[in-house]
Structure 1
Amino acid sequence: MTLALLFPGQGAQSPGFLHKLPQHDAVRATLAEASAALGLDVLTLDSDDSLRSTVAVQIGLTVAGVAVARALAHEGLVAQFCAGLSVGAYAAAVTCEALSFGDALHMVRKRAELMENAWPSGYGLAAVAGLSETQVEALAQAHAREGGEPVYVANVNAPRQIVVAGADAALAAFSARALAAGARKAQRLMVAVPSHCELLADAADKLTAWAKDIPFTAPRSVYVDNRGGRPLHSANAIRADLATNMRYTVRWYDALTVVIESGASVLVEAPPGQVLTDIAREHYPEETTALAASTLPHERLVAIVRRRLG
């Protein structure tokens, strides 16, 4: 029986999520380390106002993920597998010991600044439920043929849970088209940049150049990327994944499947969300126990994980 930690991406944030982290020595130490590394009080990053900033959100998610991973490790619960959706990959890399926490924070801040500066306003993401990737691609092509601004498949979170990226007006028009074509739901996400598409190619190139001298090491546990949905074993492969993942489609369902088929039996999703937990429960109900850390007191989470791991 093995443990996997899953780290959510942008869109999972909610006001006060850093203040809701467990009252645990490892969490307090992580918050202090992050504040010292960044030269600011990270507990200011989860206010309503702060969460309008891509930079604050991405840093906050990284801090929350690492803090809870460390709190679990303090209790002897060390993950054999780590995977993170989009910016969640940074917390996964830190937890796998492929990258130091301080370097991850600086790289995340640079990543978010590049994303925000590339498209300061008027762009974002929308989630479409009930259509397949093939159906969404066909609708996107029809939308473009009729003169609409392009939309891109940004995330394949599950076989019928697809996220698209683009300009505000394009997303609104595409959402209406998707609903007319039989989508169960189409809604905007709390993300203000067009993540995971070619609109961020230039930003990804800039982050790659910026990160070339950051020290990475081979991971101590299995790091699963979400561009190809496969384990990465070398320092350079993980560096390239983190530097470029903003421009490529997130294939989360593939990554989740690899984690489970590789033997992970207990999945714990780091705060603040439970979307990744819900996907695992829906599609792999027999194979795994999926738990969202944000929905349980830390002591109870630890007890359940210990019991399920046997």
Structure 2
Amino acid sequence: MSKIAFVFPGQGSQKVGMGQSVSEANEQAKAIFTKADETLEYPLSSIIKDGPQSELTLTTNAQPALLTTSIAILQCLREAGVHADYTAGHSLGEYTALVASGSMSFEEALYTVHKRGQFMEEAVPNGEGTMAAILGMGREALQSITDEITKAGDAVQLANLNCPGQIVISGTKAGVEKAGVLAKEHGAKRVLPLQVSGPFHSVLMKPAAEKLAAILEKISITDTKIPVISNVTANEMTSASEIKKKLVEQLYSPVLWEDSIEKMLSLGVDTFIEIGPGKVLSGLIKKINRQVQTFAVQDIESCNEVAKALQEVKQ
């Protein structure tokens, strides 16, 4: 029996105009954008619709904007009768996965990610921390490089284990630069500095994690209706208490994306539907396993196409 996973993108996928065709075509999707404005008490929907990109890219806007857009697109898929057996999200996308799995309400998740964005921005002064993608190097070899540099006094660690040969490192500016140089010396194909405002998924985010823990204590999180694969462990998480704990740890722990996809494959998932702007996750999944079916749903056309393709499979 074919199993479906919904996967949700994280920060970096945002673009002006995302989700607009779905909002125009679907009343429930439109209501999500309206609800976002009401919940946050500022016009997030017009920043999503009209930009400018520089404002949309600010962490405090990008995080709620991506959550809102992905949940709006999800309404359209659900109306078309498409449902998932598992969900997962890349970093911020994990909150969208939790909403999709019935563990958090949209409004509370929105409030939380808006705060999460603020705390992440505040944790490290701008310019002191950064991230870089290391291409063509195994995790063990890279891990020993980052350990060595951290031990010498410049914190740096593995942050996103995205797919074979693509790992993002995160930490102090000096730590990331030194690790990049050593990685090249030890055979990495490329080192790509990322345009980010902070060292996400590194120990430098611990002050943000403490503030986030206080917010998560106040909101209502319930057991999931369908399992979510955790960024932190790459295992299924279903209980409310574990979800709270893992969302705090997620801020300073690596995103085990490759392991999460492998886990879902082992659970029988053969169809992955990326819900939100862009096709970043679909691309990573194809690099992990070429045999699986991937779809990227980001507008009304792709929503209808996927619904039709899956109906034909069932028949």
Normalised by the length of structure 1, the TM-score is 0.91
- 1: distance between equivalents of 2:112 and 2:230? 17
CA contact (8 A) 1:126 1:163 kept: yes
CA contact (8 A) 1:22 1:297 kept: no
1:142 positional shift: 4.1
User: What's 1:5 paired with?
Assistant: 6
Within-5 A mapping of 1:125-274: 125-144=131-150, 149-274=154-279
- 2: distance between equivalents of 1:300 and 1:3? 16
Indicate yes or no: 2:282 matched with 1:277.
yes
Residue 3 of structure 1 aligns with an amino acid whose one-letter code is I
1:132 positional shift: 1.0
1:124 aligned to 130, 148, 159, which one?
130
Residue 14 of structure 1 aligns with an amino acid whose one-letter code is K
CA contact (8 A) 2:232 2:249 kept: no
Residue 41 of structure 1 aligns with an amino acid whose one-letter code is P
CA contact (8 A) 1:11 1:189 kept: no
1:289 positional shift: 0.4
Unaligned 5+ runs, structure 2: none
1:24–1:265 CA distance, 2 compared to 1 (3 A) = farther
2:38 aligned to 27, 30, 36, which one?
36
2:100 aligned to 95, 113, 129, which one?
95
Regions of 4+ moved over 6 Å = none
CA contact (8 A) 1:3 1:309 kept: no
1:283 positional shift: 2.1
- 2: distance between equivalents of 1:36 and 1:200? 29
Compare 261-270 and 42-51 and name the one that shifted more.
42-51
CA contact (8 A) 1:266 1:308 kept: no
- 1: distance between equivalents of 2:103 and 2:150? 41
CA contact (8 A) 1:12 1:273 kept: yes
1:22–1:34 CA distance, 2 compared to 1 (3 A) = closer
* Offset from partner CA, 1:88-119 (integer Å, 9 cap, x none): 00000000000000000011011111110111
CA contact (8 A) 1:98 1:216 kept: yes
CA contact (8 A) 2:163 2:287 kept: no
CA contact (8 A) 1:266 1:305 kept: no
1:299–1:151 CA distance, 2 compared to 1 (3 A) = same
Normalised by the length of structure 2, the TM-score is 0.90
1:170 positional shift: 3.5
* Offset from partner CA, 1:178-232 (integer Å, 9 cap, x none): 2332222221234212111211112112211222121111111121111000111
- 2: distance between equivalents of 1:196 and 1:252? 13
CA contact (8 A) 1:228 1:251 kept: yes
1:235–1:177 CA distance, 2 compared to 1 (3 A) = same
- 2: distance between equivalents of 1:107 and 1:240? 14
